[in-house]
Amino acid sequence: MQHDTILGPVAARAEALNDGYRNHAAIAVLRRALSDPAVGRVALVSSFGAESVVLLHMISVLDRSTPVLFIDTQMLFAETLAYQAEVAAQLGLSDVRTIRARPEALAAHDPDRLLHKADTDACCALRKTEPLERALEPFDAWITGRKRFQGQTRSHLDFFENEGDKRLKVNPLAHWRPDDVQDYMINNRLPRHPLVAKGYPSIGCAPCTSRVKDGEDPRAGRWRGQDKEECGIHFVDGKLVRGPAADDRPQEHKEPPMNVIVTDTGFAADDRGEEFQPPEETGAAALDLGPDADVSTLIGRLEGVEAIRIAFPAFSDGRGFTMARRLRMMGFTGRLRAAGHVIADQYAMARRAGFDEVEITPELARRQPWEQWQARADWRAHDYQSRLRGAG
């Protein structure tokens, strides 16, 4: 079928969508992908592998009726099949479609189930690529869980890709790091694939997946010993679909190797010349508070304190927001800084709680540029100063 007669050329749509959503967080990209007319009819393709539950959970929150295409190669681990049934039931996904190779194709090309030993590419084409292409025929776009950290072939992914001028490929988690995935799973109490605990951070078909050693790339266990990194479903006309070119700017134009301070006016270097001190230091102008600090011990000691930094050990840890509100209610008027695992989606919450700024690593600043922080939400009408004044 022709996918672009109504929606327009796929390449132009991919470029426009990336321009429009480049500074959005993963859940926002996914929400728009499910509703934006420029994306069209969309399905999520899921392996129900080690990290698949993240996107599946997001889908269950946004629209449980979204079609989910599960490719059963009939060579999967038994644990994967059990996990697929468990996750689909737990999340209430109402349109999970199991995709398999045609029986006549298997009989003709792999009757003894040994094709993978002679030609892994042919096996992937038979059991994954062709069945998926058939299942995607009614759709204008499909959603994947690919991420830049998953190997060199994925290191420059963008949110939207042109798949051979046939359809869009959507990668909401492209900019996520391993910690983002783990934090999301912990925060939402999501079930883990049972093989992850046994040393399988990336899970495919049983014959072609092995355990990964400490320090290896997470996908090192896929097709071990072969010059192969992808199963074929992320290729078009035999060529890997890549994102934009690597950043080759001179070093002086890149972010400096120091933590970045996020404010309403952009990214900046830390302008404080004085070190933050532990709360036990009386007379200190800047204090460092851990996530479990008791701010009531600072009653009567806030005069002369110019700045307080509160640590966030994980983005799912909200204790720092409560501490900031209490400090403002106690009358603290100096600078409040949130530091650590705070992401762009939480910027509005941080500002409403009373924080003036957020301290992040250069790595997070690269993954979530300033525009993402500014695009979150309009917090200004709801900040702590307005509430204390009784403003609406």
* 60 lies in some domain: yes
Please give the pLDDT value at position 177.
Answer: 83
Domain boundary among 181, 216, 240: 240
Please give the pLDDT value at position 156.
Answer: 66
124 is in an annotated binding site: yes
Element (H, E) at 377: none
Please give the pLDDT value at position 216.
Answer: 79
From 387, 264, 379, select the one nearest 325 (Cα to Cα). Answer: 387
Q: How far is CA 51 from the centre of its chain?
A: 10
Question: What is the average pLDDT score of the chain?
Answer: 82
| CATH assignment of the domain containing 145 | 3.40.50.620
201 is in an annotated binding site: no
Domain boundary among 196, 220, 240: 240
208 is in an annotated binding site: yes
Please give the pLDDT value at position 273.
Answer: 66
* CB burial of residue 115 (10 Å; 0-12, 13-18, 19+): buried
What CA–CA distances, in Å, run from 290 to 51, 324, 340? 30, 12, 11
Residues of the chain under the 50 pLDDT cut:
1-5, 153-154, 228, 230-257, 377, 379, 381-392
From 371, 392, 385, 388, select the one nearest 25 (Cα to Cα). Answer: 371
Distance CA 350, CA 325 (A): 10
* Six-digit token string for 132: 């998926």
Same domain, 266 and 232: no
Same domain, 342 and 367: yes
Please give the pLDDT value at position 392.
Answer: 40
Same domain, 232 and 261: no
Same domain, 235 and 343: no
Residue 231 annotated as catalytic: yes
Same domain, 216 and 323: no
Same domain, 319 and 214: no
Edge-to-edge order in the sheet of strand 357-360: 266-268, 260-263, 357-360, 335-340, 307-312, 286-289
* 246 lies in some domain: no
Same domain, 135 and 270: no
Element (H, E) at 309: strand 307-312
Same domain, 228 and 315: no
Same domain, 296 and 214: no
Number of domains in the chain: 2
Distance CA 249, CA 287 (A): 37
Same domain, 146 and 235: yes
pLDDT tens profile 21-48: 876 788 888 998 999 898 999 999 999 9
Please give the pLDDT value at position 149.
Answer: 65
Q: Which domain holds residue 273?
A: 251-389
- The predicted model scores a pTM of 0.59
Distance CA 26, CA 287 (A): 34
Please give the pLDDT value at position 361.
Answer: 86
Domain boundary among 188, 212, 240: 240
* 53 lies in some domain: yes
* Six-digit token string for 248: 């080759």
Same domain, 233 and 262: no
Grouping H, G, I as helix, E, B as strand and the rest as coil, residue 372 is helix
Annotated catalytic residue, options 7, 143, 173, 231: 231
* 245 lies in some domain: no
Same domain, 14 and 163: yes
